[in-house]
Amino acid sequence: MSTTIIASLLVGAMLSLRFNVSILVPTIMAAWAVLTGIGLTWEITAARVVLEIVVVTTALEVGYLAALLTEGLAIRPN
């Protein structure tokens, strides 16, 4: 699960550098579809899939917000 969290944080951060916040909705929906497909393929319990979906959604949003805050707090050269 830690690999999924790190990947989601990085994807969220990369999205914030190029797109506005509305890109998160299709990205989260795609992540839900992928995670559900993986859960059905590997026969993972529904509770585990839901937990993974919640974690990935949160990590995407936190990564997006962290990159925005980092960019906003950066000192701009004169």
Q: Which residues contact 65 (CB under 8 A, 6 or more apart)?
A: 12, 16
Q: Give the pLDDT confidence score for residue 76 in this predicted structure.
A: 76
* pLDDT higher than threshold 90 for residue 74: no
Q: Which residues contact 57 (CB under 8 A, 6 or more apart)?
A: 28, 31, 32
Q: Give the pLDDT confidence score for residue 75 in this predicted structure.
A: 75
pLDDT band (50, 70, 90) for residue 38: very high
